[in-house]
Amino acid sequence: MALNMDQKRASFALGQVAWLKEKEEANNISTQSAKFIALILNSGFLQAMDFAGTKLNGAIVILNKWFAEDDKETGPKFSESIKKAAANGSLNQKLAELDDINEYRRVMEEAVVFFGWLKSKAEGKKMELENKQGDHVGDKET
């Protein structure tokens, strides 16, 4: 059975937060994702990318990995130039030079939707880590 795009996003986001060991790391990714969505909606995509490049490194690194995903069955269906720019850290520059407004919109929309999934999965990881910490605290009291 083929996965739909939301399932692919969710799976990729889950894989990216699975390695987190501290609830503060998960909270940071969740917060960055929420802030990035708000920045896009309030300031525009390129302005959000400019800000994110300096302030929201963790979430942007994950977004770039998703955009660079080269597996045609897994990743978003972007042009090779977008994938390459995401892979080498020059996505913002590529977006500023992009002539195709439809592709620009697809990239922006994908960023918003993907950050929604990343936020959700990071929140889940944070709760998992909180529960594990709670289990350890209970172990020490007995």
List pLDDT tens digits, range 62-82: 999 999 987 767 788 888 999
Which of left, alpha, beta for 69 (phi over 0: left; psi -120 to 50: alpha)? beta
137 vs 104, which has greater pLDDT? 104
Dihedral (CA of 47, 49, 51, 53) sign: negative
Asked if residue 139 has pLDDT above 60, the reply is: no
102 token code pair: 């439809």
Interval 101-129: pLDDT, tens = 999 999 999 999 999 999 999 999 999 99
What per-residue confidence (pLDDT) applies to 57? Answer: 78
What per-residue confidence (pLDDT) applies to 41? Answer: 93
What per-residue confidence (pLDDT) applies to 75? Answer: 80
What per-residue confidence (pLDDT) applies to 142? Answer: 42
- Residue-averaged pLDDT of the chain: 87
Q: Report, as an integer, the average pLDDT of 71-99.
A: 87
SS (H, E, C) 81-121: HHHHHHHHCCHHHHHHHCCCHHHHHHHHHHHHHHHHHHHHH
Interval 3-62: pLDDT, tens = 789 999 999 999 999 989 999 999 999 999 999 999 999 999 999 988 876 666 789 899
